[in-house]
Amino acid sequence: MRLYINLINFNSNKLAGVGYFFKRIISNIDFGDEKWNKFDEIILLSNTNVDCLTLFDINVNVKIRVVKFSFLHNFAFRILFEQFVLPFYLMKGKNVVFSPTPSIPLWAKLLNKKNVLISSIHDMIPFRVDNKYSFLRSLYIKGLSKKAAQNSDLIITVSEFSKLDIVEITNIESSKIKVIYNFIPEFKFSSESISEPYFVTVCTIEPGKNIENMIIGFNNFLNKNKEFDFYKYKIVGQFGWNYNTIISLIKDLGLEEKVELMGYLSDVDKNKVIENCTGMIYLSKYEGFGIPPLEAMYFDKISIVSNISSLPEVVGDAGIVQDPNDTVLLADNLKKLITNSDDFRANIKYQIGKFNPQIQINKFVEIITFYS
């Protein structure tokens, strides 16, 4: 039996959320363990643009073989390969196909009923957030996500919220979906960081992240609390679509000296910004998980998060939860974050324990080796 891992979606050395999630799991797996003996070969399907072993820090094993394709950096060619060529690779014997994304060969089971398909669907953003993708790309991702959910033998997702959302949209049985929480293996809890007078948000800088309301709420906070008018607001993340509207809002409110768009930062620099902040603001209107508030907890920082999607699940009783559209309430909660956060901070260690890295890694190993 062979295990195929489909990595051809990853065509650059810059990883985003889905890529980081997979890397945190795969880099901590020992393929020499006897649980993996059932596979005669582990085949990594990769794009020639990247060295997937290095990119994902995969522990090399004699069973692992990398197969690279030179033309798959093209979006259209990749789709054609996955759906109309890859199934023919899987016609003989029993094969397990795992994808860290919804991109599985949908016809593989028609050509060989022994094949086992395991996909990953982190969220249903295309169905919930308008203008996130172009029309054609949105149409493709919606169709692929639905078909992947329906055709997969098993689906991995990152929160109980996402599990419910997938069931609602695709009308599949919830028993097909297994939750593996996001986690941060390289972080250790520390309560020794200092708190400088600024709040932070870590996200792609685009309208879909509700940055406008966070900026307006911060402005309300400054206007209502003159004793805290020295506070600043730092937004960390690469610039996405239509970010000029956010820059215009900052100028219109006269916050050029108060709100800093820091752009993309290295992990080291980003972590330093989180470590030294007073607290995090994360009022996204839709998240499959939402890892920045978890990162903040490792530095003993609390977050103000939306009361919708997965975010209440992530922070539990260790964060302030509110309506993402209520900018007046945000102003009050920012003051609470400064003056009265000890009750929330007392719950941080317990909440972090829910996302124990080894438990999540073991879940993944069990899914691939047992359910196959």
Is 365 inside any structural domain?
Answer: yes
- Other CB atoms within 10 A of residue 42 CB: 21
Nearest-Å Rg of the Cα atoms of the chain is 22
pTM of the predicted model as reported, rounded to 2 decimal places: 0.89
Q: Please state, in angstroms and rounded to a whole number, the distance separating the CA atoms of residues 74 and 284.
A: 31
What is the token pair recorded at 72? 């798959």
- The mean pLDDT of 52-73, rounded to a whole number, is 89
Assign residue 103 the CATH number of its domain: 3.40.50.2000
Q: Can you give the pLDDT at residue 346?
A: 94
Is 188 inside any structural domain?
Answer: no
Same domain for 158 and 271? Answer: no
- The mean pLDDT of 282-302, rounded to a whole number, is 94
HEC profile for 166-206? HHHHHCCCHHHEEECCCCCCCCCCCCCCCCCCEEEEECCEC
Domain count, the chain: 2
Same domain for 15 and 127? Answer: yes
- Tell me whether strands 2-6 and 41-47 are parallel, antiparallel or unpaired: parallel
pLDDT at residue 141 tops 70: yes
Element (DSSP H or E) covering residue 234:
strand 232-236
Same domain for 203 and 342? Answer: yes
What is the token pair recorded at 269? 């620099």
Q: Please state, in angstroms and rounded to a whole number, the distance separating the CA atoms of residues 182 and 23.
A: 11
pLDDT at residue 186 tops 80: no
Q: What percentage of the chain carries pLDDT values higher than 70?
A: 99
Tell me the per-residue pLDDT of 13-33, one tens digit each, with 9 for 90 and over: 878 788 989 999 999 999 999
Same domain for 258 and 340? Answer: yes
* Lowest mean per-residue pLDDT among 196-200, 207-211, 366-370: 207-211
Q: Can you give the pLDDT at residue 129?
A: 80
From 121, 118, 122, select the one nearest 109 (Cα to Cα): 118
Is 92 inside any structural domain?
Answer: yes
Same domain for 135 and 52? Answer: yes
The whole domain housing 312 covers 198-353
Q: Can you give the pLDDT at residue 372?
A: 62
Same domain for 139 and 42? Answer: yes
Same domain for 360 and 302? Answer: no
Q: Can you give the pLDDT at residue 247?
A: 95
Is 192 inside any structural domain?
Answer: no
Confirm if 176 and 155 have CB atoms less than 8 A apart: yes
From 23, 15, 19, 14, select the one nearest 357 (Cα to Cα): 23
Same domain for 162 and 247? Answer: no
Element (DSSP H or E) covering residue 156:
strand 154-157
Confirm if 22 and 44 have CB atoms less than 8 A apart: no
pLDDT, averaged across the chain: 92
Same domain for 145 and 235? Answer: no
Tell me the per-residue pLDDT of 252-266, one tens digit each, with 9 for 90 and over: 999 999 999 999 898
Helix (H, G, I), strand (E, B) or coil at 134: coil
pLDDT at residue 181 tops 90: yes
Confidence of residue 294 (pLDDT cuts 50, 70, 90): very high
Same domain for 258 and 133? Answer: no
pLDDT at residue 191 tops 90: no
Beta bridge pairs of residue 67: 45
Higher pLDDT among residues 123 and 11, named by residue: 123
